[in-house]
């Protein structure tokens, strides 16, 4: 009821990864527009947090940027009905919350229901070429207008000339306009492109004023870079974990570290249900093939990470399952050297 009485336009964001960062980047673009707006604080994105956010509006805002998070079937339809978006964005889908949502196709089917309560003339923005999402959109009860973003030429919001700059972030162009992103990793360039697409479809033209610079600081525990013991560097990305996010974090570590020694500290990925062993094994294999020197593990499911890493060629002494946080931190403190990078 509060949503229907209000005059603001709603942008809703969801996805298996990147939704909070994309929301923050989009909010930074709205801040530069001079328009009155509000957005989800932190990740208050569920059936309790979303109504709280809407009810907390002052009443004279023109725009709302709302994050929607789900872990069970049926939740997305409820969230969409609560916020009735004018524009909905999916950052992407991956193996996440499969315990409650099923396989990848099941995740996609639930996520696209963000469009279930789109307002008249509303738009759903999705990553270009994501087949699971494309299939799920085709199965929606009512047709929906779809726009895409991505690095491929067929995308409606097309990023080009992507250049990764290590700890300095990345830069790319959209319609000839230079975009600077002060967050490390290709995935954050993708998040920035998604934010540009979202604000553009909301009627805010982020490209019309020339160069765009995203200087948003990373959220706590989401891609922070910090100084570690003895001159080492820490990439702290442990707010939550699903396979797609872990792969992106490993890629970021490799890009940041270059030829320096790369060390992984990994725990269990939760809520993967029957896919847990398979997905943990994939991470072990991927990590080994990424050229990391050592892997420290903590948890129950990480035994599958170790087994896969060894099968992919890592030495047994380079992959250790630790008993607890204390022994893990002690091992790191005595073994790290200047220039080492730790994820």
DSSP string, 177-209: EEEEE-S-SHHHHHHHHHHHHHHHHTT--TTTT
> Is the domain of 68 the same as that of 177?
yes
> Is the domain of 249 the same as that of 276?
yes
Distance of CA 203 to the CA centre of its chain: 24
What is the reported pLDDT for 100?
A: 54
- Residue 182: partners with Cβ closer than 8 Å, 6 or more residues away: 168, 169, 213, 214, 215, 216
End of a domain among 214, 232, 249? Answer: 214
Per-residue b/e over 119-132, b at no fewer than 16 CB within 10 Å?
eeebbbbbbbebeb
What is the reported pLDDT for 275?
A: 84
Distance of CA 311 to the CA centre of its chain: 29
What is the reported pLDDT for 340?
A: 93
Taking the alpha carbons at both ends of the chain, their separation in whole angstroms is 45
Number of domains present in the structure of the chain: 2
CATH code, domain carrying 232:
3.90.190.20
Distance of CA 336 to the CA centre of its chain: 29
> Is the domain of 42 the same as that of 172?
yes
> Is the domain of 302 the same as that of 160?
no
End of a domain among 214, 236, 268? Answer: 214
> Is the domain of 236 the same as that of 300?
yes
Gap between the Cα atoms of 265 and 287, Å rounded: 11
What is the reported pLDDT for 1?
A: 55
Tens digit of pLDDT at every position of the chain (343 positions)? 566 667 899 999 999 888 888 999 999 999 988 889 999 987 788 899 998 998 988 888 999 999 998 888 889 999 999 999 999 999 998 765 555 566 788 889 889 999 999 999 999 999 999 999 999 999 998 889 999 999 999 999 999 999 999 888 999 999 999 999 998 889 999 999 999 999 999 999 888 878 899 875 656 667 788 888 889 999 988 777 788 889 988 998 998 898 999 999 999 988 888 888 999 999 999 999 999 999 999 999 999 999 999 999 999 999 999 999 999 999 988 899 999 999 9
> Maximum CA pair distance of the chain?
63
What is the reported pLDDT for 218?
A: 57
- Residue 217: partners with Cβ closer than 8 Å, 6 or more residues away: none
What is the reported pLDDT for 167?
A: 83
Gap between the Cα atoms of 220 and 265, Å rounded: 18
Q: Are 71 and 101 in contact (CB under 8 A)?
A: yes
CATH code, domain carrying 134:
3.40.1190.10
Domain extent for 175: 2-214
Size of the chain, expressed as the number of residues it contains = 343
> Is the domain of 269 the same as that of 307?
yes
> Is the domain of 260 the same as that of 308?
yes
**Confidence (pTM):** 0.80
CA pseudo-torsion sign 146, 147, 149, 151:
positive
**CA proximity to 295, closest of 269, 324, 267, 318:** 318
End of a domain among 214, 245, 270? Answer: 214
- Tokens describing residue 168: 């300095």
> Which burial class, exposed, middle or buried, applies to 181 when counting CB atoms under 10 A from its CB (0-12, 13-18, 19+)?
buried
What is the reported pLDDT for 216?
A: 55
């Amino acid at each position: 009821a509060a949503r229907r009485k209000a005059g603001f336009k709603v942008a809703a964001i969801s996805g298996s990864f990147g939704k909070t960062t994309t929301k923050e980047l989009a909010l930074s673009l709205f801040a530069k527009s001079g328009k009155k707006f509000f957005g989800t604080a932190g990740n208050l994105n569920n059936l309790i947090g979303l109504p709280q956010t809407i009810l907390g509006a002052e009443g004279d805002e023109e725009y709302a940027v709302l994050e929607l998070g789900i872990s069970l079937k049926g939740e997305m339809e409820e969230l969409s009905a609560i916020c009735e978006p004018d524009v909905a964005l999916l950052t992407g889908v991956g193996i996440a919350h499969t315990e409650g949502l099923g396989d990848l196709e099941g995740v996609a089917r639930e996520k696209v229901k963000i469009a279930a309560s789109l307002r008249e003339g509303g738009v759903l923005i999705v990553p270009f070429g994501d087949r699971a999402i494309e299939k799920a959109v085709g199965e929606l009860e009512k047709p929906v207008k779809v726009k895409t973003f991505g690095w491929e030429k067929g995308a409606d919001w097309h990023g080009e000339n992507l250049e990764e700059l290590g700890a300095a972030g990345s830069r790319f162009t959209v319609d000839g306009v230079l975009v600077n992103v002060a967050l490390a990793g290709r995935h954050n360039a993708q998040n920035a492109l998604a934010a540009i697409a979202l604000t553009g479809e909301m009627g805010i033209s982020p490209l019309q004023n020339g160069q765009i610079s995203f200087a948003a600081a990373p959220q706590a525990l989401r891609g922070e870079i910090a100084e570690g013991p003895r001159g080492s560097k820490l990439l702290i990305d442990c707010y939550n974990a699903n396979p797609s996010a872990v792969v992106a974090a490993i890629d970021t570590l490799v890009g940041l570290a270059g030829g320096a020694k790369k060390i992984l500290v990994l725990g269990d990925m939760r809520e993967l249900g029957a896919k847990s062993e398979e997905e943990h094994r994939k991470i072990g294999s991927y990590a080994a093939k990424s050229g990391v020197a050592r892997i420290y593990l903590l948890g129950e499911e990480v035994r599958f990470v170790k087994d896969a890493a060894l099968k992919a060629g890592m030495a047994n002494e380079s992959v250790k399952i630790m008993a607890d946080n204390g022994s893990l931190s002690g091992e790191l403190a005595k073994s790290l050297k200047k220039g080492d990078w730790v994820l």
